[in-house]
Amino acid sequence: MAKRRKYSAEQITQSAILLTEIILANRKPEILDAHLRRVLGELIWKTTEADGKHNTAYWSEAAIACADRRKLVHEHVITKKDLIDQLLAAEPTEAGLILNQAVACIVTTDEHNNLSKHDKTAKGWRRYDLAEVRVVDRRTGKLRGNPAIN
C-alpha cells in the first residue's frame, strides 16, 4: 500500500521558507559556516522534493527513456551552492524569493556529470543548454526551449 502524504507540497515549501527566514534572521558569529550551509542545503532539498524526489515537473528526455531509476539524479537547476550563496547574501525576508528559484530536474547520471562540468561557468538552465540536455516540462509535455548557444 502506498504511503499517504501528511503534508502538501505547499505546506512543505512554506515551512522551509519560514525556517530559512528564522535561521537568517538569527545568525550569530558563533554559528559555524559549515553548519549554516548544511542546514540551508537541507531546506533547499525539502523545497525541491516537496512533491517527491522524482515527482518533479522537469525531466530530461534521456531520464524519461531510462528504465533504471538507479541511474536517475534529482538535479538542482540552480546549484545548491549558488542558492546557499544567494541566501547568505540576502535579507531574511528574501528567503522565499530565493527558495522559489529552487527547481529540480530529473536527469541521468551521465547528464548530471556533464552538467557539473558547467557549474563554474554557467547558471541555471544555461548549464543545461551548454551540456545539451533536452528537458521536457511534464506538466505541458513540451520541450523546454533551448535558445541558440553563442
pLDDT digits (tens, 9 = 90+) for 75-120: 999 999 999 999 999 999 999 999 999 999 999 999 999 999 999 9
- Count CA atoms within 13 Å of residue 5 on its CB side: 10
pLDDT tens track for 21-76: 999 999 999 999 999 999 999 999 999 999 988 899 999 999 999 999 999 999 99
CA 85 to chain centre: 14
Q: Which residue has the cell 523545497?
A: 47
What is the signed CA dihedral for 51, 125, 63, 11, rounded to 10 degrees?
0
Q: Helices 33-48 and 80-89 meet at what angle, rounded to 10?
A: 120
Predicted structure pTM score: 0.88
Please state whether beta strands 104-108 and 72-76 pair in parallel, antiparallel, or not at all (unpaired).
Answer: antiparallel
For 16, residues 6+ apart whose C-beta sits below 8 A from its C-beta are 43, 44, 46, 47, 50, 99
